[in-house]
Amino acid sequence: MQDGPIAAIVEQHPKNVAEAAPVAGARPRSTYWPFVIPAVAVVGSVIVFPWGFTVWMSLHEWTVGGARRFSGLSNYARLASDERFIASVGHTLVYTFLAVVLPLIFGTLAALIFNARVPFRGVLRGLFVMPMMATPVAIALVWTMMFHPQLGVLNYLLSLIGIPPQSWVFNPATVIPSLVLVETWQWTPLVMLIVLGGLAAIPTEPYESAAIDGANAFQRFRYITLPMVAPFLMVAVIIRTIDALKSFDIIYAITQGGPGTASETINLYLYSVAFAYYDVGYGSAIAVVFFVLVIALSLLMLHLRQRTKWIDVQGGA
């Protein structure tokens, strides 16, 4: 007989102790499923099912009020010869490129200015981020008035410095740069805030060492500031790329894709096909191709983000 209180308990309740003892190699019972199932159900109903249904619709010739007929990949083959769709892809890429690069440049410049010890910089930062707080439709209405060829304030300001009035969004050659101007005005503060976070994390020792070595302001920016904030810049690029790709409200409210189709992006063309022409099958094919384009660019951005090194100023990269 074993000695001690534990032996007495085993002696009195040998069956309970044997059942409670873990078996070697046995897997514990899964108790997390009640918590996971609601999340899986929500994701499946909100994301997976709509996209699966969209792919299914893209394989059919289907107009609202008409009969549905399976057509295989004919809608996708039709895209390859659709000049309006091809033009919308070009407009989307040009718009996205400009709407990423310009806020990145001006946002970085603004972050460098507001990171310096200028008077009232807290108040100035607050004023600078105000465009981000306005709703896109309100911004579009204000800028539409500003773009007016005769009554707009932009042409009035140009006349003060001797520049002739511009057509802005009423000219196919300038409509996309004009829309990018609105996008840059609204989202430059976002880039500034991201870069400011990176600048706040940079210690002062590298700058002091560079000043002792005689480095000028540009050299300090090129070899110290820029490498250290590069990961933050990549975060800004990813956010702005995804946001610019899916931009719809500002473009639609200002130009509705015009003049003609000069500012029609994939989003606007998809809207026209699905909700103006009621061609649900062809519109679904456009949505699927657009989704693949967004995923491809997102993966490219994430790959570049992974290759961007966070620099440890204490021990190197």
d(CA 299, CA 237): 13
Q: Please say whether the beta carbons of 76 and 289 come within 8 A.
A: yes
Q: Please say whether the beta carbons of 273 and 40 come within 8 A.
A: no
Q: Please say whether the beta carbons of 106 and 184 come within 8 A.
A: yes
What CATH superfamily is the domain 97-263?
A: MetI-like (1.10.3720.10)
d(CA 8, CA 290): 72
Domain boundaries, the chain: 97-263
| Residue in 156, 110, 155 with CA at minimum distance from that of residue 132 | 110
* pLDDT tens, per residue, the chain with 317 residues: 445 554 554 455 555 544 544 555 555 565 777 778 888 888 788 888 888 899 999 999 988 878 889 988 999 999 999 999 999 999 999 999 999 999 999 999 999 988 887 788 788 888 888 998 888 889 999 999 999 988 899 999 999 999 999 999 999 999 999 999 999 999 999 999 999 988 888 888 888 888 888 888 888 888 888 888 988 998 899 899 989 998 999 999 999 998 999 999 999 999 999 998 899 999 999 999 999 988 888 888 888 877 766 554 444 44
Preceding peptide of 259 cis, ω within 30°? yes
